[in-house]
Amino acid sequence: MLAIVLAALVVLGAVVFRGGGLGPGRAVVVAALRAAVQLAAVSVVLTAVLRSGWWTGLFVLLMFAVAAVTSARRVGVPRRVAPIAAAIGGGAAPVLALVLGSGVLPPKPIAVVPVSGIVIGGAMTATSQAARRALDELKTRHGEYEAALALGFLPRAAALEICLPTAGQALIPALDQTRTVGLVTLPGAYVGVLLGGASPVQAGVTQILVLIALLAAEAIAVLLVVQFVAAGLVRRH
């Protein structure tokens, strides 16, 4: 039954995607197949990874590397992985250090891997959205950028005048999720902790920690990547 339901959902998504003019339906099918294969492989790998602290650390680094490469490609700057990685890492590293180093969450593989994945993934998404928007703003409002230069602004300051005001829009999904948690959605961390046998109170505490950690990591990542765009370290050719 699970296979039938999954197949039906994939077909539905593909038909809507193509019929609505959103793109080729094949994209939905390929994404679904990749997700299934990747999750199956990761499930096997995690069985071994969670037995070792060293393997856990290497796996987190792998997640970070994949996030940086994926974000750079999404932004359209595949050769600018270093500044993109710096933005993602700059957001995720201090948050994870505080959450895990303080002992709020146990520094055990079973806690480190999922929390790291959530925070790194959130920082990746925010970085991609902020960088894309900043680069698009600089392109479409190039005349305003030139006018700022004519008025005596330095290139970095002129670029920030254009792209910084819209950077916060990359945080809208995280802000909305945090504002409506429990009223509209019950995010994955809450449901996962509940299914693991914890009480609703414990699940709620875990979820609010994850949500606020995400907000902090994404805010730092967005600020850093916009600064990198303004400085010319992230640019399309």
Q: pTM higher than 0.95, yes or no?
A: no
223 against 22, higher pLDDT: 223
pLDDT of res. 187 = 63
Model confidence pLDDT, tens digit, residues 168-215: 888 888 888 888 776 666 666 666 665 566 667 777 777 788 889 999
Cβ neighbours, 10 Å, residue 98 = 12
Q: pLDDT band for 39, please (50, 70, 90 cuts).
A: confident
Reduce the secondary structure of 171-227 to three states and give it as a string. Answer: HHHHHHHHHHECCCECCHHHHHHHHCCCCHHHHHHHHHHHHHHHHHHHHHHHHHHHH
pLDDT of res. 228 = 94
pLDDT of res. 181 = 74
Q: Residue 139 burial (CB < 10 Å; 0-12/13-18/19+)?
A: exposed
For residue 121, which of 24, 189, 52 has the smallest C-alpha distance?
189
Q: Which residue has the tokens 């703003």?
A: 137
Cβ neighbours, 10 Å, residue 114 = 16
For residue 223, which of 124, 116, 92, 91 has the smallest C-alpha distance?
91
